[in-house]
Structure formats: C-alpha cells, structure tokens
C-alpha cells in the first residue's frame, strides 16, 4: 500500500489523485527537458566562447535572428502547453462533476474549526468520517471569513465562502486517516484549523453512524465534557492547563471573578459558561479579541451540561 507517496506528491488517497499525479509528472519531465536545454546552452556557450579563449580582440558575428530556429522554439513549447492545457481541463472537469449517486455531507467552516452535518442527524467537529469506495459530495459554507477545504492526499481543495455554497467531491480509495487543512488564511488560528478525514469501510461506517446518534452514553458528565472539549475543537483556542491561547484558559475560573472588556466584573457561574458557549460575543474577557463563533446548533443541552460540568471540575 502506498503510504509515503512519491518524491513530490503525498500518497494517492482518492480515485482521481492518480490522474492528477500523471499530469503533474508529465509537466515535471517536459520541464526538465526544456530546463536542460537552457542550462546546457548557457554552460556550453559560456565555456566554449569565454573571453580567455580569444587571443586577440575581434568583432563577433552579427547574427540578428534565425527564422527557422525561432519558429521551432515558439511552436514546440506552444504545442506542449496546449497538451497540458487540455489534459488539465479534462481532469479538472472530472474533479468538478459530482457523481449522481454521491452521498452528501454539509461542511461548515468557522474560526477555527470544521463541522460536518450528516443527513442522519449526526454532527462532528474536525473529524469527517466517510466510507471508502463511495463518492462523497461536500456542500460547504462559512460562518465568518473565507476558509478553504484542503485534503492533500485526496488532491481536493475548494474555498468555503460566507455568502454562498461551494461544492466539491471525492471518493476515498481505502480506509485510513488523512489530514484536512484550511488553505485560505483566516486569522490567528488558521494553522490550528486542522481536522482529520477518517475513511472506514462500509460496515464500520454504518456502526459509526448508529453510535453517533446515541453519543456518550455510559459516561459521567465530566468525562463526556472532557471528550467534547477535544472533539468540538474548544481545545484549539482554550487551554485546560492555564496557558493563554487565542482565548482565555478555562481551568480554575469557575466561581471566580473575571474582568470583561467593558471593565465590568462578572462571576463565572453555570449561566456565564452557557452564554459564553452559545453567544460568545456577549461578554468578551479583557485582553482577548471577539473572534469565537457561536456553538448554537452544534451542541445539544446534554452536551452543554457536560462541558459546564467539565469546566467546573478543572482546577
């Protein structure tokens, strides 16, 4: 199994990755030939006609042009780039025409995490679980600024816009875990906006969906909260160990006063935490930027309870 990729390219994780790589390497080899000609010409002429090889000063031949030669070096590159253009267009269309039988997942980008909504009602954050061998259509939009959905191993990239839907698709070839990056600069947490695409086989996928609809049973609220703190990407901006990240740390704050941007002091209680999760712009802690998106719709009541319980438990 190809897990390393080639010198330049990462492993080929999607069905069309191979076609893109073939074109990529065609351009690499053609470029190497052209570069070789230029380099050879430079070095050969430079050495052959260098000044020290001339005994006396002399004029040089007045070659002003050579129509045949110029036609050759205009036409051959033109033909080559036309081949590359049509080839690139052909593969591009395949990458843009979504197969009719594709399953659809809604992707939402926001500062600074990805969320995924499945037709079955499951919602995940920063983890896109898909079955191998089935085309997946992604319907994408952003809550704030422009993001870009990029999975290098799939050779898939598409901007995620705040005012319209954008669409892309892929079919993963085999189970595995692949990196998902945000490729459009979106602010302080841009490089933390990293998710995973988890490709599983069809049977595992069905099981996962079923578990997803009944998440977290058998866990204490604190345990579930700890899990959600990670899986819902709170951890991208908030430390549970006291570090100052993009947002304030969450440990040891419960029951204490916090100074807001307005200068007002409030006490951190259950309602303060709940409001900060659902309406993060309402009370901004002094010294931080109002950049957190709302989690309205991403968490149900039970999950909010669990997160509050977890934060309460942190010392």
Partner 1 sequence: MNTMPEKHYLNEKRGWKSWLFTLDHKRIGILYLYGIMAAFLVGGVFAMLVRLELLHPGRDLMDAKTYNQFFTLHGAVMIFLFIIPSIPAALGNFVLPQMLGAKDVAFPKLNLASWYIYVVGALVAIYSIYAGGVDTGWTFYTPYSTTTSTSVVAMTLGAFILGFSSIFTGLNFIVTIHKMRAPGMTWFKMPLFIWGLYATAIIQVMATPVLGITLLLLIMERVLAVGIFDPAMGGDPVLFQHFFWFYSHPAVYIMILPGMGIISELIATFSQKKIFGYKAIAFSSLAIAFISFLVWGHHMFVSGQSQLASMIFSFLTFLVGIPSGIKVFNWVATMYKGIIRFDTPMLYALAFLFLFTIGGLTGIFLGTLATDVHLHDTYFVVAHFHYVMMGGTVMAFLGGIHFWWPKMWGRMFNKKWALLSWLLIFIGFNMTFFTQFILGTKGMPRRYYNYLDQYQPLHAFSSYGSWVLGLGFLIMAVYLFYSIKRGPVAGNNPWGSLTFEWKSSSPPPVANFETEPILKHGPYDYDKIIPERTYS
Interacting positions 86-125 with partner 1 (CB under 8 A) = 87-93, 95-96
- Work out whether 74 is an interface residue with partner 1 (CB under 8 A): yes
Sheet holding 156-160, edge to edge: 127-131, 195-200, 176-182, 147-151, 156-160
Asked if 3 touches partner 1 (CB under 8 A), the answer is no
Part in contact with partner 1 (CB under 8 A); list of ranges 33-41, 102-110, 221-229, 271-279:
33-41
Q: Does 246 bind partner 1 (CB under 8 A)?
A: yes
Closest listed residue to residue 195, CA positions, set 252, 298, 142, 125? 125
Q: Name which of residues 212 to 231 contact partner 1 (CB under 8 A).
A: none
Give the Å distances, CA to CA, from 69 to 3, 65, 161, 213, 244.
Answer: 46, 9, 49, 70, 65
CA 167, CA 98: separation in Å to the nearest integer? 9
In the complex, what is the shortest distance from the CB of residue 71 to partner 1, in angstroms, rounded to a whole number? Answer: 11
134 scored as a contact of partner 1 (CB under 8 A):
no
| Residue 253 beta carbon to partner 1: minimum distance, rounded to whole angstroms | 21
The SS3 of residue 257 is: strand
* C-beta of residue 198 within 8 angstroms of C-beta of residue 223: no
49 near partner 1, rule: CB under 8 A: yes
Q: Does 188 bind partner 1 (CB under 8 A)?
A: yes
Helix axes of 17-48 and 67-96: crossing angle, nearest 10 degrees: 160
Binding mask 144-173 for partner 1 (x = CB under 8 A): xxx-x-x-xx-xxxxx-xxxx-x-------
Identified binder of partner 1 from the candidate list 19, 270, 283, 305, rule CB under 8 A: 19
Distance CA 145, CA 185 (A): 9
One residue of 99, 289, 297, 300 binding partner 1 per CB under 8 A: 289
Q: Among residues 40 and 220, whose Cβ is nearest to partner 1? A: 40
Among 65, 68, 100, 315, binds partner 1 (CB under 8 A): 65
Q: Which residues on adjacent β-strands are paired with residue 299? A: 296
């Amino acid at each position: 199994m190809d897990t390393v990729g080639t010198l330049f390219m990462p492993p080929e994780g999607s069905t069309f990755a191979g076609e893109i790589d073939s074109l990529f390497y065609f351009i690499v080899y053609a470029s190497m030939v052209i570069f070789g000609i230029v380099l050879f010409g430079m070095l050969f002429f430079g050495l052959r006609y260098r000044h020290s090889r001339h005994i006396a000063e002399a004029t040089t031949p007045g070659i002003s042009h050579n129509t045949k030669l110029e036609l050759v070096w205009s036409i051959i590159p033109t033909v080559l780039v036309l081949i590359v253009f049509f080839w690139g267009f052909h593969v591009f269309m395949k990458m843009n025409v979504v197969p009719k039988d594709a399953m659809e997942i809604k992707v939402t980008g926001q500062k600074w995490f990805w969320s995924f909504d499945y037709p079955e009602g499951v919602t995940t954050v920063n983890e896109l679980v898909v079955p191998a061998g089935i085309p997946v259509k992604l319907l994408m939009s952003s809550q704030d600024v422009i993001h870009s959905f990029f999975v290098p191993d799939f050779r898939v990239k598409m901007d995620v816009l705040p005012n319209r839907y954008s669409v892309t698709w892929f079919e993963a070839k085999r189970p595995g875990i692949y990196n998902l990056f945000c490729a459009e600069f979106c602010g302080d947490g841009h490089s933390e906006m990293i998710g995973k695409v988890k490709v599983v086989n069809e049977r595992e996928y069905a099981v996962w969906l079923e578990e997803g609809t009944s998440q977290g049973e058998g866990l204490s609220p604190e345990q579930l909260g700890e899990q959600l703190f990670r899986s819902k990407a709170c951890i991208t901006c908030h430390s549970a160990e006291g570090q100052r990240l993009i947002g304030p740390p969450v440990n040891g704050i419960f029951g204490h006063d916090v100074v807001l941007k307005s200068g007002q002091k409030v006490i951190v209680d259950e309602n303060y935490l709940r409001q900060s999760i659902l309406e993060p712009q309402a009370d901004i802690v002094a010294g931080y930027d109002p950049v957190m998106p709302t989690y309205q719709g991403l968490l149900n009541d039970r999950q909010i309870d669990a997160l509050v319980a977890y934060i309460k438990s942190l010392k």
